[in-house]
Amino acid sequence: MTQRTDSHLIFRDFKRSYPEIVRGEGIYLYDHNGKKYLDGTSGSAAVCNLGHGVAEISRAVKTELDRYAYCPCHCFANGPSMELAKMLADIAPGELNRAWTVSDGSEATEAAVKLARQYQVLKGNLSKSKVITRWQSYHGATLTALGYGGLSGRRRIYSPFFCNVHHIPPAYCYRCPFNHTYPGCDVLCARALEIEIRQLGPENVAVFIAEPIVGAALGCAPPPAEYFRIIRQICDQYDVVFVADEVMTGFGRLGRWFGIDHWSVVPDIIACAKGISGGYLPLGAIIVDEKIVQLMITKESNIISGHTNSAHHVSAAAGVAAITYIHAHDLVKQAGAMGAHFEEGMRSLTDLPLVGDVRGKGLFMGIELVQDKCTKDPFDPGARMAQRVEKAALERGLITYPGTGCVDGDRGDHLLMAPPLTISRSEINELVGILEAAIGEVAEKIT
Q: Is the pLDDT of residue 183 over 70?
A: yes
Residue type, 233: Q
Distances from the Cα of 236 to the Cα of 127, 190, 268, 353, angstroms: 17, 14, 10, 45
**DSSP label at residue 182:** T
Q: What is the pLDDT of residues 298-329, one digit of tens each?
A: 999 998 877 899 999 999 999 999 999 999 99
Whether the CB-CB separation of 127 and 136 falls below 8 Å is answered with no
User: Residue 375: what pLDDT?
Assistant: 97
Average pLDDT over residues 247-264: 98
User: Residue 2: what pLDDT?
Assistant: 47
Three-state secondary structure readout of 203-238: HHEEEEEECCCECCCCCCECCCCCHHHHHHHHHHHC
pLDDT band at 1 (very low <50, low <70, confident <90, very high): very low
**DSSP label at residue 52:** B
Average pLDDT over residues 387-400: 98
Q: Is the pLDDT of residue 239 over 90?
A: yes
Whole-number CA gyration radius for the chain: 21
Question: Among 342, 384, 348, 333, which residue's Cα sits nearest to residue 362?
Answer: 342
- The residues with which 167 forms a beta bridge, in sequence order, are 133
Q: What is the pLDDT of residues 357-393, one digit of tens each?
A: 999 999 999 999 999 999 999 999 999 999 999 999 9
Compute the half-sphere exposure of residue 221: CA atoms within 13 Å on the CB side of its CA.
Answer: 29
Question: Among 37, 11, 10, which residue's Cα sits nearest to residue 23?
Answer: 37
Q: Which residue has the higher pLDDT, 78 or 3?
A: 78
Cα–Cα distance, 337 to 94 (Å, whole number): 25
Pairing of strands 130-134, 165-168: parallel
User: Helix, strand or coil for residue 94?
Assistant: coil
Averaged confidence pLDDT in the chain: 96
Q: Is the pLDDT of residue 3 over 60?
A: no
Cα–Cα distance, 20 to 32 (Å, whole number): 6
Distances from the Cα of 394 to the Cα of 20, 22, 182, 427, 435, angstroms: 14, 17, 36, 16, 10
User: Residue 16: what pLDDT?
Assistant: 83
Cα–Cα distance, 314 to 189 (Å, whole number): 42
Average pLDDT over residues 189-209: 98
User: Residue 307: what pLDDT?
Assistant: 86
| E runs forming strands in 57-191 | 96-102, 130-134, 165-168
User: Residue 7: what pLDDT?
Assistant: 82
Cα–Cα distance, 92 to 105 (Å, whole number): 17
Average pLDDT over residues 102-113: 96
Q: What is the pLDDT of residues 406-439, one digit of tens each?
A: 999 999 999 999 999 999 999 999 999 999 999 9
Q: Is the pLDDT of residue 447 over 80?
A: no
Q: What is the pLDDT of residues 25-64, one digit of tens each?
A: 999 999 999 999 999 999 989 999 999 999 999 999 999 9
Whether the CB-CB separation of 283 and 61 falls below 8 Å is answered with no
Pairing of strands 269-272, 130-134: unpaired
Say how many residues make up the chain.
Answer: 447
Lowest mean pLDDT among 8-17, 46-55, 246-255: 8-17
pLDDT band at 5 (very low <50, low <70, confident <90, very high): low
CB atoms within 10 A of CB 44: 15
Average pLDDT over residues 208-217: 97
Cα–Cα distance, 389 to 354 (Å, whole number): 10
Rounded to an integer, what is the distance from CA 83 to the centroid of its chain? Answer: 24
User: Residue 4: what pLDDT?
Assistant: 53
Lowest mean pLDDT among 1-5, 189-193, 229-233: 1-5
Q: Which residue has the higher pLDDT, 304 or 99?
A: 99
Mind listing the domains of the chain with CATH numbers? 21-53+330-446 (3.90.1150.10), 57-328 (3.40.640.10)
Q: Is the pLDDT of residue 230 over 80?
A: yes
For the whole model, what pTM was predicted?
Answer: 0.96
- The residues with which 56 forms a beta bridge, in sequence order, are none
Whether cis (ω within 30° of 0) applies to the bond prior to 45 is yes
pLDDT band at 173 (very low <50, low <70, confident <90, very high): very high
User: Residue 218: what pLDDT?
Assistant: 96
User: Residue 11: what pLDDT?
Assistant: 85
| Helix 188-200 and helix 227-237, axial crossing angle in degrees, nearest 10 | 20
